[in-house]
Amino acid sequence: MKAPLQTRLAAEIVSRRDALIRLTQDLIRIPTLNPPGRNYLEICEYLAGQLGKAGFKVNLIRAEGALGDSVAHPRWNLVARHEGAGAGDCVHFNSHHDVVEVGHGWTRDPFGAEVEGDRIYGRGSCDMKGGLAVSIIAAETFIAACPGYRGAIEISATADEESGGFGGVAYLAERGWFAPDRVQHVIIPEPLHKDRICLGHRGVWWAEIETKGRIAHGSMPFLGDCAVRHMGAVLEEMEATLFPLLATKRTAMPVIPDGAKQSTLNINAIHGGAAEQAEDYTGLPAPCVPDRCRITIDRRYLIEEDLAEVKGEITAMLDRVKTQRPSFDYEIRDLFEVRPTMTEKDAPIVRTTAVAIEKVLGRTAGYVVSPGTYDQKHIDRIGRLKNCIAYGPGVLDLAHQPDEWIGITDMEDSAKVMALVLAELLAP
Ligand SMILES: [Zn+2]
């Protein structure tokens, strides 16, 4: 008698452990740094070779004209599709292939992909080349074990997630690659841990606030109007009224970590007065009253909040400052916004993945929502596809850190879960 499909898939994945490690290492060793967007074509061509051998039809798509795309740094994406033996749903695994800068503090070669014990080290190992490799091994394993499956499997590796995804998933979604009649289920293997399902993310609003003053000689500041002092009043008002207000807003979304279950605001940057001098300048600054001061704010908002209200809170706060300071004047500019998104818990991909986690790991799946956004926003808003989650191996806290690593056993377990999801959705 043939063993049950789940058992065969699990055994097959264990036997492909070396292939999984090698694939992850190969991906880490292609330094796809973003910015500026290096080696995107190289990694897509590497994946095209791997997936072509496995019987996938491969498309390489350059996001020509998208934000960030240039002749020096073209934004290349890969979408590979494997057709089953009959009609059925398409399950799509989407990973970003870009990684963030290395930063300081590494004790290993960031692109060496060293294996030590149960870990593979390197920039992008956890976020998210490990997850990409896992989805490929899971798909290859399922196809080999179940060649008569119904529907289709797609794997994509996309650019620029770390810088907004406009040359990646957004570009593809605008061109119909995630349209609901083409793709029915999406898993994004971001590092949320092998036993958790990430349903979505909070919203984002970035804006620049500028206070205005009048330049004058620094020895006679009374002849000018200091924009930095005006900004000081804005910051004081924020501390007194805005931060306490944000702390009272709590979401029912299962956001992790706990501190992100409330509305948050970060001041990303502040600048006022004379421009900072070049590092080789050895002179003193000139005495002037600053006539401009700017801050950039990063407001993360909840699914229960309305973006117009979120913006209204800031303008109301600035208007309160104005009533206290007769010469106060400001401007506010929108930089970027993303609406919150959350897939329903009873969506097919959520239910199927929860069942697979329980069968493979013997424990119930946890449900989380990400504090920051990822490419699900484009699949939801542009692609109009709601049946989408993030699920993949790795410890989220290690993303963007020195000595980033991914656990090999965690990758193996996630591959078993993903292969079983394919079996549940596509096996005849
Ligand atoms: Zn990521």
Residue 70 CA, ligand 1 centroid: distance in Å = 23
pLDDT attached to residue 1 = 57
Query: Can you tell me which residue has the tokens 């002037």?
Result: 288
pLDDT digits (tens, 9 = 90+) for 379-417: 998 989 999 999 999 998 898 999 999 999 999 999 999
Query: Which three-class secondary structure state does DSSP give residue 229?
Result: helix
Radius of gyration of the chain, Cα coordinates, nearest whole angstrom? 25
Closest CA to 304 of 377, 203, 407: 203
pLDDT attached to residue 275 = 85
CB 412 within 8 A of CB 13: yes
The pair of three-digit structure tokens given for residue 52, joined into one six-digit string: 């072509």
Closest CA to 200 of 415, 414, 375: 375
Residue 34 CA, ligand 1 centroid: distance in Å = 12
Residue 93 CA, ligand 1 centroid: distance in Å = 13
Beta strands in 98-222 (DSSP E): 115-116, 119-121, 150-158, 185-188, 196-201, 203-212
Residue 100 CA, ligand 1 centroid: distance in Å = 9
Q: State the pairing for strand pair 366-370/185-188.
A: unpaired
Residue 211 CA, ligand 1 centroid: distance in Å = 35
pLDDT attached to residue 277 = 81
Domains and CATH numbers, the chain: 5-201+340-426 (3.40.630.10), 203-274+284-338 (3.30.70.360)
Handedness of CA 308, 314, 320, 324 (dihedral sign): negative
Question: What DSSP element (H or E) covers 293?
Answer: strand 292-301
Residue 27 CA, ligand 1 centroid: distance in Å = 14
How many C-beta atoms surround the C-beta of residue 328 within 10 A? Answer: 20
The pair of three-digit structure tokens given for residue 208, joined into one six-digit string: 């620049």
- Give me the residues near ligand 1 (ion), CB cutoff below 5 Å: 127-128, 190
Q: Give the whole-angstrom CA distance, residue 392 versus residue 213.
A: 50
pTM for this structure? Answer: 0.90
Q: Give the whole-angstrom CA distance, residue 183 versus residue 152.
A: 9
Q: How far is CA 229 from the centre of its chain?
A: 37
pLDDT attached to residue 245 = 97
Secondary structure, 3-state, 33-50: ECCCCCCHHHHHHHHHHH
The pair of three-digit structure tokens given for residue 271, joined into one six-digit string: 């600048």
CB 390 within 8 A of CB 188: yes
Query: Can you tell me which residue has the tokens 């992850």?
Result: 24
Q: Give the whole-angstrom CA distance, residue 162 versus residue 340.
A: 17
Residue 392 CA, ligand 1 centroid: distance in Å = 10
Residue 97 CA, ligand 1 centroid: distance in Å = 9
Q: Which residues in the chain show pLDDT less than 50?
A: none
Residue 127 CA, ligand 1 centroid: distance in Å = 5
